[in-house]
Amino acid sequence: MASWDWANISALATAGGTLVLAGASFASIRSADRAALSAERAVLASLRPLLVGSPLEAPSQKLIWMDGHACHLTGSRGYLRIVDDNLYLAASLRNIGPGLGVIHGWWPAGPETYHQTEHADPADFRRQARDLYVAPGDTGFWHSALRDPQDPDFLALLDPVKNRTRVNVDLLYGDAEGGQRTISRFSLIPVGDEDAWICQVVRHWNVDRPDPR
């Protein structure tokens, strides 16, 4: 009987030791997961771009469209011009994030969206003819053009540009690895003479991660 009791006690001790080891292993795995998640977030944060309007003292940039149209864009400025049934759009930007920004597309938000928090589906954005890059901590630009007078977006922007009223444009961009997509809404606001527009950022939305608000 005594030997049987000792066998039971030995088995229970072994089971207890195994349970303790399992608990320690589980805690170690959870700790490793948290460390890996923290490391992943740190890497993503180091790659994240954030675009805003450039400051007034930003250097002038020469922009050239595919058809040869060109302009000089100074700091904090936007550009809206109708030439020969072509509508040219541009904005001087600054990347205040630590990562390289790659602009993928744009969407002409209506004037009524200035105070709203909705944006179009990223799949509906107009793709850039070429990727536009804005280096971290540096000035860059966005530009595009509408060349079909029957294009609904051309028609929607025609009156605001001619009458010089606020034009809102949403830009879709991400990091250099193709992730962390962000949508930022910019307002191009007429000031001074007929060629002058100020570019101001209005709101940011995260596409691939929780929103900041």
Place of tokens 């170690």: 28
Q: What angle do CA 24, 27, 30 make, to 5 degrees?
A: 150
**pLDDT by residue (tens digit) across 21-40?**
766 666 566 655 565 555 55
**Cα–Cα distance measured from residue 102 to residue 6, given in angstroms and rounded to the nearest whole number:** 70
| C-beta contacts of 61-67 below 8 A and 24+ residues apart | 61/92, 61/139, 61/140, 61/141, 63/90, 63/141, 63/143, 65/143, 65/145, 66/129, 66/145, 67/145, 67/147
- Exposure on the CB side of residue 1, measured as CA atoms within 13 A: 0
What are the residues whose beta carbons fall under 8 Å from the beta carbon of 193, sequence distance 6 or more?
A: none
Closest of 155, 179, 170 to residue 40, by C-alpha: 179
Q: Which amino acid is at 206?
A: N
Does position 102 have pLDDT exceeding 90, yes or no? yes
| C-beta contacts of 189-193 below 8 A and 24+ residues apart | 189/78, 190/164, 190/165, 190/166
Please provide residue 22's backbone torsions phi and psi, each rounded to the nearest 5 degrees: -65, -45
What does the pLDDT average to over 74-79? 96
Closest of 126, 163, 164 to residue 148, by C-alpha: 126
Give the confidence band of 158 by pLDDT, cuts at 50, 70, 90: very high
Instruction: List the single range of 5-9, 135-139, 165-169, 171-175 with lowest mean pLDDT.
Output: 5-9
Provide the token pair at 9.
Answer: 């006690």
Place of tokens 């541009």: 90
Instruction: List the single range of 91-95, 135-139, 169-173, 207-211 with lowest mean pLDDT.
Output: 207-211
This prediction has a pTM of 0.81
Does position 116 have pLDDT exceeding 80, yes or no? no
